[in-house]
Amino acid sequence: MASLASTLEKLTHGNKRTEKIRRYIVVEAIYQNSGQIAPLDEIVRLKEKYRFRVILEESHSFGVLGKSGRGLAEHYGVPIEKIDIITAGMGNALATDGGFCTGSIRVVDHQRLSSSGYVFSASLPPYLASAAISAVDHLEENPSVLANLRSNITLLHKELSDVQGLEIASNILSPIVFLKLKTSTGSSVADLELLEVISEKVLKEDSVFIAATKRSSLDKCRLPVGIRLFVSAGHTESDILKVSESLKRVAASVL
């Protein structure tokens, strides 16, 4: 947040055009590459101080965070009106496909006006929209789904707390559980090779699929290297114990 504040200060200090141009802070609610949760309360404070807008990407937090699963704003108690645009893919908590982009009436009207060509050429099939609506209804009518998800995340954190050579770096509320090496080899390439060996052995020996993070030459920031696990409310206790036992055994043999 200190880096963000410094960047916003540099962009706005002495710039007479700043109040006349559209400026956005674009942020992931739950970061796909680390499982960390964005500090939305602080981001909104900076947005208001420097007169920016916020675009919030909620693909991994919608249906997950907040008392009723409404996402990051509900989690932090931030009034939804303070978030200018919210986007999310519907392939995670809603178990369908496509995505949505929403905001104030002014924002939505602008989208309808400027995006009509794209909307009519690549719009969401009605049955996928219907599936998403049914999923939202299911979440509202069955709050136990969220309780099951959080219980599964907590159990996985507990079981993986003593994996040899690895430590959890993700937030306790994130369904993306991110493991990193306790001690780096000193080379991100070598670190990734070790983690890929672990992922491959776990899959080959126990039919458990986990993902080692990938790096790209196009990345503008240094992404963390680690192993990602994705938890859902549909996993059973035996599923989570199987993953944990497999990962512990393989990590001990590799590291």
Residue 90 sits in a domain whose CATH number is 3.40.640.10
Residues 121 and 20 in one domain: yes
Residues 127 and 240 in one domain: no
Residues 136 and 153 in one domain: no
Residues 98 and 203 in one domain: no
Q: What is the tens place of the pLDDT at every residue in 160-199?
A: 999 999 999 999 999 999 999 999 999 988 999 999 999 9
Give me the residue label for tokens 């704003």.
73
Give the strand pairing for 85-89 and 166-168.
unpaired
Does the pLDDT of residue 86 top 70, yes or no? Answer: yes
Tell me how far apart the alpha carbons of residues 207 and 204 are, in angstroms, rounded to a whole number.
Answer: 6
Q: What is the pTM of this model?
A: 0.90
Does the pLDDT of residue 13 top 90, yes or no? Answer: no
Q: What is the tens place of the pLDDT at every residue in 39-79?
A: 999 999 999 999 999 999 999 999 999 999 999 999 999 99
Residues 129 and 215 in one domain: no
Give me the residue label for tokens 């009436």.
105
CA atoms within 13 A on the CB side of 199: 18
Residues 115 and 155 in one domain: no
pLDDT score recorded for residue 195:
96
Quote the percentage of the chain above a pLDDT of 70: 98
* Domain ranges, residue 44: 1-141
Q: What is the tens place of the pLDDT at every residue in 107-148?
A: 888 888 887 777 667 778 899 999 999 999 999 999 999 999
Q: What is the tens place of the pLDDT at every residue in 205-223?
A: 999 999 898 777 777 777 7
- State the total domains in the chain: 2
Does the pLDDT of residue 16 top 80, yes or no? Answer: no
**Residues 6 or more apart in contact with residue 139 via CB below 8 angstroms:** 63, 68, 69, 93, 145, 146
Does the pLDDT of residue 18 top 70, yes or no? Answer: no
Tell me how far apart the alpha carbons of residues 50 and 19 are, in angstroms, rounded to a whole number.
Answer: 9
Residues 115 and 192 in one domain: no
Domain boundary among the residues 93, 108, 141 is at 141
Domain boundary among the residues 97, 119, 141 is at 141
